[in-house]
Chain A
Amino acid sequence: MTGSGDASEAGRAAEAAARKSYGKLVAWLATQTRDVAAAEDALAEAFASALETWPRTGVPRVPEAWLLAAARRRAIDAARRAKTRFGAEREIVMRIEELHAEAGRDGVHGDERLGLIFACAHPAIDAGARAPLILQTILGFDAATIASAFLVSPASMGQRLVRAKRKIRDAGIPFAVPDAAELPARLDAVLDAVYAVFTQGWADPAGVDPKSRGLTEEAIWLARLLVNVLPDEPETAGLAALMLYAEARRAARRTPAGDFIPLSEQDTAAWNAALIAEAEALILKAAGHRRPGRFQIEAAVQSAHVDRRRTGRTDWPAIATLYEALYALTSSMVVAINRAVAIGEATGAKAGLAALEAACDAERLAAYQPYWAARAELLARNGDVSAAHIAYDRAIGLETDPALRRFLQGRQGSLDRLP
Chain B
Amino acid sequence: MGSASRGRFMETVMQYLLMIYDDESAFATAKPEDMGQLMAAYEAYTQALTASGVMLGANRLRETSDATTVRLVDGKTQVLDGPYAETKEQLGGYYLIDVADLDAALSWAARCPGASTGTMEVRPVY
Residues of A within 8 A of B (CB): 31-32, 34, 86, 88, 91, 112, 115, 122, 124, 170-180, 182
Contacts and interface: CB of A to CB of B under 8 A. Distances in A.
Contacts of A32: 8
Contacts of B124: 170-172
B3 A177 contact: yes
Contacts of B103: 173-174, 176, 178, 182
Contacts of A175: 5-6
B3 A86 contact: no
Where chain A touches its partner, the secondary structure class is loop
B102 A171 contact: yes
B101 interface: yes
Contacts of B3: 115, 176-179
Contacts of A34: 10
Nearest to A31: B5
Interface string B45-69: 0000000000000000000000000
B33 to A, nearest CB: 32
5 contacts: A86-B10, A112-B5, A124-B102, A174-B7, A179-B1
From A34, A88, A174, A180, name the one whose CB has the most chain B CB atoms within 10 angstroms. A174
B36 interface: no
Contacts of B13: 86
Contacts of B10: 34, 86, 88
Interface of B: 1-3, 5-10, 13-14, 16, 100-103, 105-106, 124
A88 B11 CA distance: 11
Nearest to B15: A172
A88 B9 contact: yes
B105 A176 contact: no
B100 to A, nearest CB: 7
A5 to B, nearest CB: 35
Given A173-B101, A174-B102, A91 B2 contact: no
A172 B10 CA distance: 11
A180 B101 CA distance: 17
